[in-house]
């Protein structure tokens, strides 16, 4: 399987489409996780949003730059999801897209800056800190790992793989936490012992990125 160090529009599309497939497949699982500590709609929300994104992508013409694609995807999530995850993931993708600008291709450093911008957007909007039992508990360590690897000179695929692993660890680490943000916080101590749905969907999205980059374009 070939490996690339530069990312283009095709890769970004594969990422979003792969995310849509994974979120659709895991829809009921995510909703069950949300039923335990939230209001049982996270799977529905993410699936509704990303399937709209896929439809939207088909309307874009071939030449659209990766940054624009992400901005469009983010706007689509915001317009179709509702709930907490819509604005959060919508803002994340929009910020990432803006940071990529109109370049037709970009490297690991640019991708890292984009995901750092995404994380920043999520924290700005939701004010969650690591340990609050939210998607930030998966996204933050992932972006950290990515930065380290890229600074250490590893190629994008390896760096992204490390980010995905960090996200999975962060996701698992949400189980013993007490939620202090979002609906789950109403449960107080009763939120302990459950895995956070948003952190779980975050892992699915990072896995999709890893696979999109791994495939030769």
Binding residues vs ligand ADP (CB under 6 A): 34, 38-39, 41-42, 45, 83-85, 88, 122, 126, 128, 134-136, 181-183, 196-199
**Distance between CA atoms of residues 41 and 30, nearest Å:** 8
C-beta of 137: minimal distance to another protein in Å? 16
Using alpha carbons, select from 112, 119, 114 the residue that is nearest to residue 148: 112
Spatial contact of 90 and 78, defined as CB atoms under 8 Å apart: yes
Contact positions vs another protein (CB under 8 A) = 39-41, 44-45, 78-84, 86-88, 90-91, 125-126, 178, 180-183, 185-188, 190
Of 130, 127, 151, give the one whose Cα is nearest residue 140: 130
Rounded Cα distance, 18 and 24, in Å: 10
Segment interacting with Mg ion (CB under 5 A) among 41-49, 89-97, 125-133, 165-173: 41-49
Q: Which is nearer to ligand ADP, 131 or 155 (CB)?
A: 131
Determine contact, residues 141/37, Cβ cutoff 8 Å: no
> Among all chains, which residue has been given the structure tokens 């399987």?
1
Question: Is 184 or 204 the residue whose CB approaches another protein more closely?
Answer: 184
Q: Are 181 and 126 in contact (CB under 8 A)?
A: yes
- x/- mask, Mg ion, residues 83-122, rule CB under 5 A, reads x---------------------------------------
What, of another protein, Mg ion, ligand ADP, none, does residue 72 touch, CB below 5 to 8 Å by kind?
none
Distance in angstroms between the alpha carbons of the first and the last residue of the chain:
11
Q: Which residues bind Mg ion (CB under 5 A)?
A: 34, 38-39, 41-42, 83
């Amino acid at each position: 399987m070939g490996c690339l160090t530069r990312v283009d529009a095709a890769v970004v599309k594969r990422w979003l489409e792969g995310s849509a497939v994974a979120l659709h497949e895991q829809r009921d699982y995510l909703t069950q996780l949300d039923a335990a500590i939230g209001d049982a709609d996270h799977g529905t929300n993410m699936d509704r949003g990303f399937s709209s994104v896929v439809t939207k992508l088909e309307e874009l013409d071939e030449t659209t730059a990766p940054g624009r694609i992400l901005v469009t995807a983010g706007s689509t999530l915001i317009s179709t999801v509702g709930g907490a995850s819509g604005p959060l993931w919508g803002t994340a993708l929009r910020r990432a897209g803006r940071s990529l600008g109109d370049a037709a291709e970009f490297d690991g450093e640019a991708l890292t800056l984009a995901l750092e911008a995404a994380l920043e957007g999520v924290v700005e909007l939701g004010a969650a800190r690591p340990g609050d039992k939210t998607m930030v508990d998966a996204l933050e360590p992932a972006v950290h790992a990515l930065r380290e690897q890229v600074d250490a000179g590893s190629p994008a695929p390896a760096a992204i793989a490390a980010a995905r692993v960090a996200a999975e660890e962060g996701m698992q680490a949400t189980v013993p936490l007490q939620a202090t943000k979002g609906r789950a916080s109403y449960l107080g101590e009763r939120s302990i012992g459950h895995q956070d749905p948003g952190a779980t969907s975050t892992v699915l999205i990072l896995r999709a990125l890893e696979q999109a980059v791994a495939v030769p374009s």
